[in-house]
Structure 1
């Protein structure tokens, strides 16, 4: 099993430089890993055996197995309710009734592994796009600053801080497009996860939208009173009709009984996916609402950056840096977003020194006046 899933562990590695957030990682790491593992499970014959085994008198097993796998199997909707062995042989298994409902055909199972991989690709797409448009900007700014040598070596740390200060001064107000691209990728994460819920519902014959609730509700009722939702969507025993010409040239019809071991895995995968996608969509939706508050709330942006300094930096200095009156709201959010990503990759002490240096560079007169009042001796004094 470790060898079978060995390549999946590559997704567990985290980048040395963080360019997104935990909610973003829910999509391109956690969800992608779950979907890839699910796809590998349904293709692993060592766990489920043959995906289909059919029994039909007069027809060789290999032929009927291949035929029913390609052309689908079916169940009888009226026979999902009842006590097995008394009312029905198996849930959904019965002769086709002339005046009954149309049989429910099952064609999805041969596509499950491909669909799960396609879903994983869609979940990873926003990360792929963002990494391309981000183009290593944050890595260029904070490169090697997480190493212990930079933490203890004040001279090296000062040189790197001065580089970030120079960059921020020259490109101040120019990160609106940078932040907008990231916010767009976040929005695409939400759109993709919601779209996949509807896609899976369509893929499973419009049975997925309430699948998780039906599974929970079924455990509290008598099985004879309502059909098992897992047996309805993922039946383990189905039927298949095979036709061929007889000796006299007339068409002979054969009724085959098929076992689908693959659905033992499918029912559990999609039960988990139902809850997982609902949770991820809800968390992402709430985070997008939180993102709106950040965009509109200047005080919230200041508080977030201040939390990265251990609250060792006066709030007034951060307000000077983040709320420059000559910049519009998009430019302010762009500068905040860049600083937020930079400070996420540094320790509190370095963040405090960095922001002090930025304030000194942008407002030298104010910083010197504050130094005379409080007698502070930060990296800004060395820079002067």
Structure 2
């Protein structure tokens, strides 16, 4: 298992240059690694172990196992409320299924490993789009100035290059910032769409899955219906038809145990909580970006909060002379550069930018 999941460690390698925020990385890196790990674990259990084992008299078990796995199994939804051991053999298992539509069929467990893989790809897509759009601009601007130790002459030359670039490209970085903000919005859209599709995938049961699991322990023992067993049943039924010796059709009713659903139910309860947390964080992040764009005065406070060594007056003066794109570039430089070098660059930049060059941050 370690060898199987060891390759995911590459997602968490330390990066010298940061071009995004922590919540953005939580969506693109951690969530992608989480979904990929779940997909690998379920794939190993599904194709290496025995995902289904059926009990049937008079037929080879391997034949019935294969048939029930590929054709789907079912339970009786109203049987989940009956007493196990007296009224029904297992939760959701009963024999009064003669009425059409009385059964609930389960086919999605065959596709879980593939769905998780495509979810991981969807979560990684905003990162790829942003890296293509960013095109290593931040790494080029930093030029090794993230390390404060070095020759003074070389550092001064690099600072002059950075200042020259910022002056020559003043008010030309709005598209750079808006593309990044757009990728953050894409993350939120991706999570919302995935929640909706997972809810459709599980027949409308997923969105309330976590809430029902939390309420499950608070209910009286006689009123309990385990939501994990309802969505991921551990014992189901399967009907196998075959021709008898006289040519008549014989119906074989079998009980099928699905050990794979033990893994599925724990996987999706964790995914439910993580996606709800991530959707909340991304919603707050997108609203935060809207505030940054709509209210320029707040940008100076954010810059000062991230770099306390720069006086708030200097931050206000600078933010009044640059647009949101320039402000975002400077904020990212402060994240990546040595603090002393960055403070010197900001001080020089404030002096060089004329007042009329800015538009009040609008």
Following superposition, the deviation at residue 22 of structure 1 comes to 0.4
Residue of structure 2 in register with 1:354 after alignment: 345
- C-alpha displacement of 1:363: 4.5
1:160 aligns with 2:158: yes
The residue that corresponds to 2:198 in the other structure is 200
CA distance in 2, matches of 1:223, 1:118: 39
Please say if residues 244 and 253 of structure 1, whose CA atoms lie closer than 8 Å, have aligned partners that are also in contact: yes
Cα displacement (A) at 1:349: 1.2
Shift of 1:48: 8.8
- Whether the aligned pair in 1 keeps the contact of 2:46 and 2:260 (CA below 8 Å) is no
Which residue is 1:369 aligned to? none
The corresponding residue for 2:307 is: 309
Cα 1:216–1:308, aligned 2, differ >3 Å: closer, same or farther? closer
Residue 41 of structure 1 is matched in structure 2 by: 41
Do the aligned residues in 1 keep the contact of 2:11 with 2:29 (CA within 8 Å)?
yes
Give the Cα–Cα distance (whole angstroms) in 2 for the partners of residues 58 and 272 of structure 1.
41
CA shift digits 1:68-122 (9 cap, x unpaired): 1100000011111233212221001111433485200000011000000100110
Within 2, Cα distance between the matches of 1:264 and 1:219?
Answer: 18
Unaligned 5+ runs, structure 2: 356-362
- Paired residues of 2:39 and 2:112 also in contact (CA < 8 A): yes
Aligned 8 A contact 1:51 1:262 in 2? yes
- Matches of 1:13 and 1:228, distance apart in 2: 40
Report the Cα distance in structure 1 between the residues aligned to 2:201 and 2:171, rounded to whole angstroms.
46
User: What is the CA distance between 1:350 and its match in structure 2?
Assistant: 1.6
Contact 2:52 2:259 in 1 (8 A): yes
Conserved 8 A contact 2:163-2:345: yes
Give 1:223 deviation, angstroms: 4.0
SS of the aligned residue for 1:194 comes to helix
TM-score with structure 1 setting the length: 0.88
Q: Does structure 2 retain, via aligned residues, the 8 Å contact 1:308–1:348?
A: no
Match of 1:320 among 317, 322, 332: 317
CA contact (8 A) 1:51 1:261 kept: yes
Structure 1 residue ranges without an equivalent (≥5): 365-384
Matched with 1:4 is 4
Of 163-172 and 286-295, deviating more is: 286-295
Contact 1:32 1:123 in 2 (8 A): yes
1:4 is displaced (CA, Å) by: 2.0
Residues 298-330 of structure 1 deviation map (CA, whole Å, 9 limit, x = unaligned): 2221122223432x3343433333222xx7xxx
Deviations 1:175-204 (A, max 9, x none): 111111111101010010011111111111
Taking structure 1 as reference, are residues 74 and 223 closer, same or farther at Cα in structure 2, changes over 3 Å only?
farther
* CA contact 1:74–1:103 (8 Å) conserved in 2: yes
8 Å contact kept, 2:32–2:124: yes
Q: Note the C-alpha offset of 1:152.
A: 4.5
- Whether the aligned pair in 1 keeps the contact of 2:97 and 2:103 (CA below 8 Å) is no
Mapped partners of 2:30, 2:229: distance in 1: 28
Query: In structure 2, do the counterparts of structure 1 residues 308 and 160 end up closer, same or farther at CA, with 3 Å as the change threshold?
Result: farther
1:27 Cα deviation (Å)? 0.4
Partner-residue secondary structure (3-state), 1:254: strand
TM-score by length of 2: 0.93
C-alpha contact (below 8 Å) 1:82/1:225 kept by paired residues: no
Report the Cα distance in structure 1 between the residues aligned to 2:101 and 2:219, rounded to whole angstroms.
25
**Size of the alignment, in residue pairs?**
355
Distance in 1, matches of 2:314 and 2:247, equals 93
8 Å contact kept, 1:78–1:101: no
**Counterpart Cα distance in 1 of 2:97 and 2:3:** 49
- Counterpart CA distance in 2 for 1:309 and 1:32 is 31
Name the residue aligned to 1:299: 297
Could you tell which deviates more after superposition, 168-177 or 339-348? 339-348
Partner of 1:31: 31
Counterparts of 1:234 and 1:297, CA distance in 2: 48
Structure 1 residues 230-262: Cα deviation after superposition (integer angstroms, max 9, x where no partner): 111000000101111111111111111101000
* Counterpart for residue 171 of structure 1: 169
The structural deviation recorded for 1:210 is 0.3
Distance 1:101 1:151 in 2: 73
The answer for the alignment partner of 2:227 in structure 1 is 229
